[in-house]
Structure formats: structure tokens, C-alpha cells
Amino acid sequence: MQAERVQPDTVEFDVRTDEMLINMGPQHPSTHGVLRVVLRTDGEVVSSVVPHIGYLHRSAEKIAEKLTVRQYLPFTDRLDYLSGMNMNLGWALTVEKLLGHRVSGKTRHLRVIIAELNRIASHLVAAGCMGLDLGSFTPYMWTFREREKILNLFEEICGARLTFSYLLPGGVKEGPPEGWLGRCEAFLDQFEPVIDDLHALLTNNAVFIKRSASVGTLPPETAINYGCTGPVLRASGVDWDIRRDGEPIYTEMYDGYTWRVIAPVGGRYPDDHPYPPIPREAAVGDSWHRFFVRMLEVVQSMGLIRQAIEKYAAAEGELDKPIEIRKKLPAAGAYLETEAPKGQMGFMIIGDGSAIPWRARIRSSSFCHVSVLPELCRGVLIADMPTIIASMDIVLGEIDR
């Protein structure tokens, strides 16, 4: 098939003599993966930013056209590899939406526990790496220490620490082992003081505030126009969380839970949990608020997990078994977005009557977050680039698929 030959990108070569063209290469400690950002700078001031992606493209969507929906589940782990359970959940729910399959309450409560635990784990990485990119190495160690405990819990339940393939369409692989719920609670109990430590070292740290407050301020209209979702959108003051406002098959997972959407509407956060004071210099929509929303979401998730553990213990019935391996899909399409830690993760499956989907589409939130970088980073200093990229909390696995 003859396709047009596109010349390699030549827009970068018309550099004026007073400018420098710098490549924040695919290999860089703070681009959170293989992201290449080409900067034009005048001294330390960045005048234009062009992100290039595709270094981790593994043709995930094409592979889905060859495997059944259950066989495809491990591929979803590798999308946002820091929150594999949420990716599994998104895929599982999309299949269930397509098939019209509804799971029992007990399965839903277990899914809430797992999804929120993974949300905590992912936000811990985000917080630690933001500190790391700003030069603060210690919180990174502490957040990873806590993340290890969560990964140990996951290893007990499904045998894997990163690529879980646990939340299958129709149910879960296996129920939790003996005493697992008690260990979850124990983890949450010892985790609360650590959050205070992180607030002391990062959130309320004068240097951290200096580096991140009013840096990369994203106005809400721009955020929505560029398709930003999740903590990035909420930090700009937009009250939107798809766990509350999404499709019924997803929101019924969170029915009956007491929780509030974390967004600085009117400059104030919901006060169901106490939070440290907001510095004067921080503007709604800047990097500090994006970081802070994640810290508050961690606390929020802890509350949700505690509620879910009670509900799971009280729920009657059994956990659902997953659908059969070669289940035939109807000749229809279904698209579902779920609230992954990084933003809204959308999966679409179009079936054609056989067990293999005709088309699968993966819509990731970090894809849109990287696309807004050129807009955000005009006129900042080079040292602000890692701050902004870290506050966006991108992961290249889901951008490139």
C-alpha cells in the first residue's frame, strides 16, 4: 500500500542566533518516561515547547483486534503501569457494559477497595516524584516505602506487584486471602502519620511552595478545552469527578459511600477531612494545587477504603466469577470512562459477534495533559519545566499505548 512519505520534522531547524534549541530528551530523569520535549530558550526563559511522543508505542489497539477480551487484560496493566488495577477495572467495566453484565454488590465493594488502594499507590508515586524533580529526595523514599506496603497487599491478593490482571470482566480472579482486609486496615492506620510528614516536607515547605506556586497555572476553560481530566482538571477549580458524574455502571460502584469531590471550588476544598493551610502564593490551577489535590485524594481514598471494607464484610453472597474466556461479544460498541488516578481513562470496544473485538480504543488522560504543555509552558524558566511536567503526573505507557 503506497502511502505518502512524510518528511522528518524540520520545524526545529530555523533557530535564531539568540536562541538555544534544547532537547529534554527521551532519556531524562524528570520527563516521567520516554517523553521528548524540544525547548526553544532564550537563556533560561523558554519561548516554545514541542512535546514528541511515541517512543513507547506498542500498538496496543491493534493487538486488541487479535485477542479475546479476557486475553487482552494483561495488556491493560501495561498502559498506566503505576495503577494497573484501575486500568483492569476500566477494561472490565467496558466489557460488562457491552455485554450488559452486572456484578454483585460484594464484587463492587471489593473493586472499590482495590481501585482506591491503587489510587493511593499511584498518587504516592506522583507526590514522591514531584518532590524528586524539585530536588527533594527524601519524600520520594518515604512514599515508595508506603507504596511497598500496598504492593505487598496486592501481591497477596493476586500474586503480582505491578501488572496485576486481577479485576477481570465479570468479577475478580480470586477472593482476598485470609486476614487481608485486616492487613488493609492496619496499613491505613499506620499510614496517616506519614501523610503529615509529607505535608511538612513538601506541601508546606517554603522552598517547595516557592518552586510550585503560581507555576504553570491552567485556567479551567483551557483545561476543559484541551481535554484535561482528573486531578489536573479538579485543581483548576472544576467540580467534576466521574465517580460521581459518570455512567451508571461505574457510579453504582460508589453508591452509598460518603465522599466529596476534591476540587478548590471558590478557593476552598471540601472540609470533610482537615487539610493544611493553602499558601498565599498558590493560585488555583497551578502546580501546587495539582499536587495538593492528589494529597487530599489520598486521604479521601483512605476514607473510601475503610467504608468499603465494612460494606464488603457486611455484603451477602459470593464474589462473581469472571466471564468465560471465549465469550462472544454482541455486534455493538460501548465506550466507558473511569476515574483512574491520572484522570479519566476511556476504553471502547466494538464487537462483531465473535469473541474477538473488531476495534478497541484506549483514551488516556495523560495524552491530553501532554498536549496542553505548549500552552502552559510558554514563558517559564527551564527549571519550571520539570515542576509542570511532574505536577501533570503523566505516564508514557498510557500516552503511547
String marking each residue 358-377 x if it binds other proteins according to CB under 8 A:
xx-x-x---xx--xx--x--
Answer for which of 26, 74, 105, 227 binds other proteins (CB under 8 A) is 227
Give 245-253's long-range contacts (Cβ < 8 A, gap of 24+).
246/337, 246/338, 246/339, 247/97, 247/336, 247/337, 249/93, 249/96, 249/97, 249/102, 249/336, 250/93, 250/336, 250/337, 250/338, 250/339, 252/108, 253/108, 253/111, 253/112, 253/115
Question: CB count, 10 Å around CB of 5?
Answer: 5
Answer for which of 77, 80, 96, 133 binds other proteins (CB under 8 A) is 133
Q: How many angstroms separate the CA atoms of 65 and 134, rounded?
A: 42
* Residue 311 CB contacts under 8 Å (≥ 6 apart), including other chains: 105, 109, 256
Does residue 265 interact with other proteins by CB under 8 A? no
The amino acid present at 285, given as its one-letter code, is G
Answer for which of 138, 163, 204, 251 binds other proteins (CB under 8 A) is 138
Closest CA to 65 of 354, 377, 293: 354
Does residue 180 interact with other proteins by CB under 8 A? no
Q: Looking at beta carbons only, is 210 or 260 nearer to other proteins?
A: 210
Does residue 324 interact with other proteins by CB under 8 A? no
Does residue 136 interact with other proteins by CB under 8 A? yes
String marking each residue 41-60 x if it binds other proteins according to CB under 8 A:
---x--------xx--x-x-
- CB of residue 9 to other proteins, shortest distance in Å: 5
Does residue 172 interact with other proteins by CB under 8 A? no
Grid coordinates of 385: 519545566
Q: How many angstroms separate the CA atoms of 367 and 394, rounded?
A: 8
Answer for which of 142, 187, 269, 312 binds other proteins (CB under 8 A) is 142
String marking each residue 69-98 x if it binds other proteins according to CB under 8 A:
----------------------------xx
Scan residues 191-220 and list those touching other proteins (CB under 8 A): 201-202, 205, 207-208, 210-211
Does residue 400 interact with other proteins by CB under 8 A? yes
